[in-house]
C-alpha cells in the first residue's frame, strides 16, 4: 500500500526545479520510486511528474555528443535510430534491462539517480564515459559517471537538482557487455570498450558498490585475476563473495575476448 502524497505536473523544466526538495522528488516511470515507496523505504510528501515536461525525453546527436534526455525510457534508447547507429552497445544493453514493462516505463534518469548498484546502465555508461548534466535554480553542472555515483543508492545529485540529460562522447567507444543474471538484476556485469583514442576501458558493474573502471593501452595489460582480487562483493542470495569474485574473473576474461573480436 502506497502512503499518501501530492502530485504536481509541471510543463517546463524551470517549474520542476522550482519545487524540488528532499520531500518533493522527481517522478517519471516510477519503476524504482513507487516500489521503494510501497516498501516504506522512501516516504516523499510530493511527486513531481516529469512525464509531461516536453523535451526531457528527447534524444539528439551533435558532432561531439549524443544527448539522451533523462526522461527517455530504456525502450526509447534501445529503439532509437540515433542510438542504434552511434552507440550500438548502449542500445543493445538497453534491450535487456529489466523486463519489457520496466523498459517501456523506466527512464534513464530514474535508473541513474536511483543508483542501484546492480545496474547494466551504470556499467555501460561508465564504460563509454558518459557525463551527466544536472540543473537547479542555482545553475547547471556536468559530472562524470564516477563523480555522480558515490555509492549504492547514493549520488551527488542535490535534493533540488534535476538530472536533465546524459551526454555520450562521439564517436562512442565500441565494445561488448556481458552479464551473469539469475534473478531480476545482474549478479555481475562487465563492459569492455575501446575509445576513439585507442584506450581500452573495462568496467565491472553490479558486483561492486560503484562501477569499477580500469583503463589500459591494450587488453593484454588487463589482468582478470587481479580485478577479481580487487572487487569485494557482498555475499547475498545471488551468491557468496567468493563465487562472485570468481565469476567476475571469468566474465572479465570473456568480455575482453569479445571486445578483441570487435564488439559493437
Partner 1 sequence: MPEVDAGAEHGTVGRSVQRRDLLEKVTGAAIYTVDITPPGTLHAKVVRSAYAHAQIVRIDAEAALAMPGVVAVVTADDIKDLYPRFGHIVPDHYILATGKVRYYGEPVALVVAETFAAAADAAAEVEVHYSELPAAMSVAEALAPSAPLVHEEAFVVSADESFSAMAATPTLEEVTERTNVAHEVALGWGDVEAALASAHLVVSNEGMKFPMLYAYAMEPYNAIATYADGQLHVISTAQHPFMVRTDLARIFDLPLARVRVQVPYLGGGYGSKSYTKVEPLAAVGSWATGRPVKLVLDVEEAIYTTRADAAEVNVRTAFDADGAILARDIELRLDSGAYADNSPLVLAKAANRCFGPYRIPNLRVRARSVYTNTSPASSYRGFGAPQGSFACEVNLDKAADLLSIDGDELRRRNLVDHGEEILPGKRGLDADLKADLDLVVDSLRRDATQAQASGIGYAVTASDAGAFPVSTAQVRLQTDGSVVVLSGSTEMGQGSRSTLAQIAAEELGVELDVVSVSQSDTATVAYERTTGASRTTTLTGLALQRACADARSKAAEMAAEVFGWSAGEITQVRGGVCGPQERFVAFGEVIMRWFGANAGEITGIGLVRRTGATQKMPPFWECGIVGVEVDVDQETGEIDVRQLVTVADVGFAINPRAVEGQDLGAATQGMGIALFEELIYDGPQLVNPNVVDYRVPRMRDLPAKIDTMIVERRDGIGPYGAKGAGEGALNPMAAAVASAVGRAIGKWPTQVPLTPERVWRLINDLPEAES
Partner 2 sequence: MSEPHVSETKSATTSRPGSATEVATTVNGVAHRSWVANRTTLASFLRDGLTLTGTKVSCELQVCGVCSVLVDGQPVSSCTYLAADVDGRTVETVEGLASGERLHALQQAFVRNFALQCGFCTPGFLMMSKALLERNPDPTEDEVREYLDGNICRCTGYQPIVAAVLEAAAEMRGGRSA
Q: Is the dihedral of CA 254, 198, 231, 181 positive or negative?
A: negative
Give the shortest CB-179-to-partner 1 separation in angstroms.
12
180, 246 contact by CB (below 8 A): no
49 binding partner (options partner 1, partner 2, none; Cβ < 5 to 8 Å by kind): partner 2
Q: Quick one: which segment of 59-67, 123-131, 214-222, 245-253 binds partner 1 (CB under 8 A)?
A: 245-253
Per rule CB under 8 A, is residue 1 in the interface with partner 2? yes
What kind and span of H or E run contains 126? helix 120-127
Q: CB-based contacts of 44: which residues, under 8 Å, 6+ apart?
A: 5, 23, 24, 25, 37
Helix, strand and coil percent figures for the chain, each rounded to 5: 35, 30, 40
Per rule CB under 8 A, is residue 246 in the interface with partner 2? no
Q: Which of residues 7-26 bind partner 2 (CB under 8 A)?
A: 7
Q: How far apart are CA 243 and CA 235, in angstroms?
A: 9
DSSP line for 32-58: THHHHHHTTS---SEEEE-TTSTTTT-
Per rule CB under 8 A, is residue 237 in the interface with partner 2? no
Measured from the CB atom, is 51 or 253 closer to partner 1? 253
21 binding partner (options partner 1, partner 2, none; Cβ < 5 to 8 Å by kind): none
Count other C-beta atoms under 10 Å from residue 264's C-beta. 18
48, 27 contact by CB (below 8 A): yes
Count of residues interacting with partner 1 (CB under 8 A): 14
Q: How far apart are CA 248 and CA 226, in angstroms?
A: 10
Count of residues interacting with partner 2 (CB under 8 A): 25
Per rule CB under 8 A, is residue 242 in the interface with partner 1? yes
Per rule CB under 8 A, is residue 4 in the interface with partner 2? yes
Per rule CB under 8 A, is residue 1 in the interface with partner 1? yes
Select the residue interacting with partner 1 from 29, 98, 173, 239 (CB under 8 A).
239
Per rule CB under 8 A, is residue 250 in the interface with partner 1? yes
5, 36 contact by CB (below 8 A): no
Per rule CB under 8 A, is residue 180 in the interface with partner 1? yes
Measured from the CB atom, is 13 or 258 closer to partner 1? 258
Q: How far apart are CA 252 and CA 234, in angstroms?
A: 18
Per rule CB under 8 A, is residue 182 in the interface with partner 1? yes
250 binding partner (options partner 1, partner 2, none; Cβ < 5 to 8 Å by kind): partner 1
Q: Quick one: which segment of 33-41, 146-154, 173-181, 243-251 binds partner 2 (CB under 8 A)?
A: 33-41
Task: List interacting residues with partner 2 (CB under 8 A).
Answer: 1-7, 30-31, 34-35, 38, 47, 49, 51, 75, 95, 98-102, 104-105, 184
Amino acid at each position: 500500500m502506497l502512503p499518501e502524497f501530492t502530485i504536481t505536473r509541471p510543463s517546463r523544466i524551470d517549474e520542476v526545479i522550482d519545487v524540488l526538495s528532499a520531500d518533493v522528488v522527481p517522478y517519471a516511470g516510477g519503476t524504482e520510486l513507487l516500489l521503494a515507496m510501497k516498501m516504506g523505504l522512501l516516504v516523499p510528501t510530493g511527486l513531481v511528474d516529469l512525464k509531461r515536461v516536453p523535451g526531457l525525453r528527447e534524444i539528439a546527436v551533435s558532432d561531439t555528443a549524443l544527448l539522451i534526455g533523462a526522461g527517455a525510457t530504456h525502450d526509447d534508447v534501445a529503439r532509437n535510430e540515433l542510438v542504434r547507429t552511434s552507440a550500438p552497445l548502449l542500445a543493445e544493453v538497453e534491450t535487456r534491462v529489466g523486463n519489457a514493462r520496466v523498459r517501456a516505463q523506466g527512464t534513464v534518469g530514474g535508473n541513474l539517480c536511483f543508483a542501484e548498484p546492480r545496474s547494466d546502465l551504470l556499467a555501460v555508461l561508465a564504460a563509454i564515459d558518459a557525463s551527466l548534466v544536472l540543473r537547479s535554480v542555482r545553475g547547471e553542472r556536468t559530472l562524470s559517471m564516477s563523480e555522480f555515483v558515490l555509492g549504492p543508492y547514493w549520488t551527488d545529485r542535490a535534493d533540488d537538482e534535476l538530472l536533465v540529460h546524459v551526454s555520450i562522447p562521439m564517436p562512442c567507444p565500441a565494445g561488448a557487455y556481458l552479464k551473469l543474471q539469475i534473478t531480476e538484476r545482474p549478479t555481475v556485469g562487465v563492459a569492455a570498450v575501446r575509445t576513439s583514442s585507442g584506450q581500452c576501458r573495462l568496467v565491472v558493474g553490479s558486483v561492486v558498490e560503484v562501477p569499477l573502471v580500469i583503463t589500459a593501452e591494450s587488453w593484454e595489460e588487463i589482468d582478470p585475476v587481479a580485478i577479481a582480487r580487487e572487487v569485494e562483493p557482498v555475499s547475498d542470495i545471488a551468491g557468496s563473495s567468493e563465487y562472485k569474485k570468481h565469476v567476475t574473473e571469468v566474465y572479465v576474461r570473456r568480455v575482453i575476448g569479445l571486445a578483441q573480436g570487435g564488439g559493437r
